Amino acid sequence: MKRIFLLITFFVSLSLGAQPVRLEGGRLLLHGEPYIILGGELANSSASSAAYMDGRDSWKTLKDAGLNTVLAPVYWELIEPVEGAFDFRTVDYLLSSARENGLHLILLWFGTWKNSMSCYVPSWVKLGFGSRFTLARNSDGSTPEILSAWDPEALKADCKAFSALMRHLKEADGDTGTVLMVQVENEIGFLGDAREHGTAAEKAFARSLEKDEERFQARAYARYAEAVARAGKKEYNLPMFVNAALNSRGRKPGEYPSAGPLDHLMDIWKAEAPSIDLVCPDIYDPGFPDWMARYHKPGNPLFVPEIRQEAANAARVFYVLGRHNALGFSPFSIDNAWEPTADAYRTLAPWLPLIAQKQAEGKAYGVLLDAAHPEEEITIGDVVFTCRHDGTISWSPVHGKPADWGEAAFLILEMGRDEYLFLGTGCVATMKPAGGKGRVGILSIDEYDGLQPLRRLNGDEDHQGRHLRIPFGETGVQRLKVYRY
């Protein structure tokens, strides 16, 4: 019996070693444990040079930003400078540097398309534009530097290169799990028109039952991405995702990158690209809560792989982890500027296992507040929490200055009956019974420094038992116990 147990343990360990990272039940698991991404994406060209990264002490910058994960491009033109001859020095540099600094990686495949354009393909591909490789064609006959989604030669070459990358990752990282996920292409989409008008595209459109031009093009893009992802997963079955340049309100297809992995086309992308695990938004547009709701759908866990650097991110990361059970959050160009999520990341880091547990239990909640939306109620069990922006409090430094409020957020974890953990910035919460009878009072509030209780806040800080408050401009953690009277 002991021998059988040891054999089972051995084969389980082999299995875990062969696949350290997986998506399961809407959660990202690393060596079987939930992992939440406190991420940051490198500027587009940073990862092309070890000398550039090391010369600017970039890895220290990334660690100081509170990250646990770096999103870094892998460039087709650098890993296959000569057709069939692969060079993985840039990839190996990322792996070794991440490990040395205690960080994980998400790799972004800049292959056939990057921001719609085919600008990171190898020189031998560019030199074949118009002969061996087919450029997409607009309705006016122009051919932007965008490879056609109907080009079998481009697809074959991309699949070969991506397979080689994934095979190398399997060999170099298959037991370690430094790399958590891989993005397939970058912000796929067609510019100028809703769809391509080249010879192959025109023939396919004539045969197609789908006469909506953007949906027609989306099927072609999704099938292309599926073929690349499927080829890569045959070598190393890591989670894979695509990211979308959003269809800003008021623009037409082609004015935004048409037919990409957009929320209104998610049904097509999910149907045509089953090897793509996540469809994700890149956020450079207003309406953050609305975009989050559009991309957090059944069968599509939310991950924010790229967002513009701005002060609001310090609140938004709390919100997406609480309201949308997000896998993670990642501001762009984090190696080039200070990102205000740093304090939020440091506040969140020691609590990530608990947050992941509460997400799985359905006991994580989030609110995001600003001057236009200063108040929101959340019912947890039999307690109603009225959450307000700190600017609504008369002694707040931004009271009476709504233009200075910015965004504020709470991430609330239900710890048990009458006990809650509040993480966030710039919010105030009061409590009342859900049934309307009696009153709910504050039994105690403990402020935390990391995982350690720091102060009991049963005086001025909670307004003599009237509210829980994390002031504007501060990031904190408070544990609340309530009672009824």
pLDDT in tens, 338-370: 778 999 999 999 999 999 999 999 999 999 999
Q: Hey, do 32-350 and 364-484 end up sharing a CATH topology, with the first three levels equal?
A: no
Give the pLDDT confidence score for residue 437 in this predicted structure.
Answer: 87
CATH H-level, domain 32-350: superfamily:
Glycosidases (3.20.20.80)
- What is residue 334's predicted lDDT score, i.e. its pLDDT? 95
Q: Which H/E stretch holds residue 169?
A: helix 152-173
**Residues sharing a CB contact under 8 Å with residue 285, sequence separation 6 or more, in sequence order:** 246, 248, 249, 291
The end-to-end CA distance of the chain, in Å, is: 58
What pLDDT is attached to residue 325? Answer: 98
Q: What is the DSSP letter of 85?
A: B
Per-residue pLDDT, 3 = 46
Polymer length of the chain = 485
Is residue 375 within 8 Å of residue 392, measured between CB atoms? yes
pLDDT tens digits, one per residue of 183-212: 999 999 999 999 999 999 999 999 999 999
Looking at residue 435, its pLDDT comes to 85
Query: Nearest 5°: phi and psi at 251?
Result: -105, 155
- Splitting the chain (485 residues) into consecutive groups of 10 residues, what average pLDDT does each group show? 41 53 96 98 97 96 95 98 98 98 98 98 98 98 97 98 98 97 98 98 97 97 98 98 92 96 98 98 96 97 97 97 98 88 97 98 98 97 96 91 93 97 98 92 97 94 93 96 95
Q: For the whole model, what pTM was predicted?
A: 0.94
Sheet of strand 27-30, all strands in order from the earlier edge strand to the far edge: 21-24, 27-30, 33-34
DSSP element (H, E) containing 403: none
pLDDT in tens, 447-470: 999 999 999 999 898 999 899 999
pLDDT of residue 250: 84
Q: What pLDDT score was predicted for residue 157?
A: 98
Q: Tell me, what's the pLDDT at 6? A: 37
Instruction: Break the chain into its structural domains and give their ranges.
Output: 32-350, 364-484
- Determine contact, residues 144/136, Cβ cutoff 8 Å: yes
Does 2.30.30.220 match the CATH number of domain 364-484?
no
